[in-house]
Amino acid sequence: MRNFFTATIAAAALFAATFFFLPSAQAGSHMAGAGMIVKQSAYGVGETLDKLEAVLKKKGIAVFARVDHTAGAEKVGLKLPPTQLLVFGAPKIGTPLMQSSRSIAIDLPMKALVWEDKAGKVWLAYNAPGYLAKRHHIDDRKEVFAKMGDALAKMTDAATK
């Protein structure tokens, strides 16, 4: 019983440390939380996503949807600072990943979230491809995930700087 109690306390402490001491998106970290890459944008929410969408389309990457969470909140009488999501991907890349592990389909197509914080700063976040590889136990596509990571870093830099 004592081992169980000790293990429970250790697990709770680890969770608390992870939750409270991870760099936050508001602090401007490049890796925030569980596998999210966050970058500060020099532009507003709409302009940041417009720039990202243009870069994606230029590279031949499909844009499937753009979700304006602020507009959705307004429709139900609630307020939300500017917050938008872009859903994008390339089936030529995503399908082989799903062939390796079907569960990755929960995270594909990729998404980029852009929001304005309380201080008026704008942030862009997306899931790190390497994190997705680990999350879905995909070991046979390391080169694909590395290329995805490099491409996403360049495209999101183009949208935020």
The tokens describing 85, both together, are 């999501």
| 83, part of any domain | yes
The tokens describing 120, both together, are 């008026």
Please name the amino acid found at residue 106: I
Provide the number of structural domains found in the chain: 1
Contact by Cβ (8 Å): 161, 132: no
Whole-prediction pTM: 0.80
pLDDT confidence of residue 33:
76
| 147, part of any domain | yes
**Phi, psi values for residue 17, rounded to 5°:** -65, -40
Counting every residue, how long is the chain?
161
Sheet holding 122-127, edge to edge: 31-32, 36-41, 122-127, 110-116, 83-89, 62-68
Q: Which residues of the chain have pLDDT under 70?
A: 1-32
Look up the CATH number of the domain holding residue 124.
Answer: 3.30.310.70
User: What percent of the chain has pLDDT above 70?
Assistant: 80
| 3, part of any domain | no
| 12, part of any domain | no
Query: Cα-atom radius of gyration of the chain, to the nearest Å?
Result: 18
| 7, part of any domain | no
| 10, part of any domain | no
| 36, part of any domain | yes
| 73, part of any domain | yes
Q: Nearest CA to 112 among 129, 125, 128, 123? A: 125
- Mapping DSSP onto H, E and C, the string for the chain reads CHHHHHHHHHHHHHHHHHHHHCCCHHHCCCEECCCEEEEEECCCHHHHHHHHHHHHHHCCCEEEEEEEHHHHHHHCCCCCCCEEEEEEECHHHHHHHHHHCHHHHHCCCEEEEEEECCCCCEEEEEECHHHHHHHCCCCCCHHHHHHHHHHHHHHHHHHHC
pLDDT confidence of residue 59:
97
Per the prediction, the chain carries an average pLDDT of 86
pLDDT confidence of residue 32:
65
- Which residues form the domain of 35? 25-160
117-133: pLDDT as tens digits: 999 999 999 999 999 99
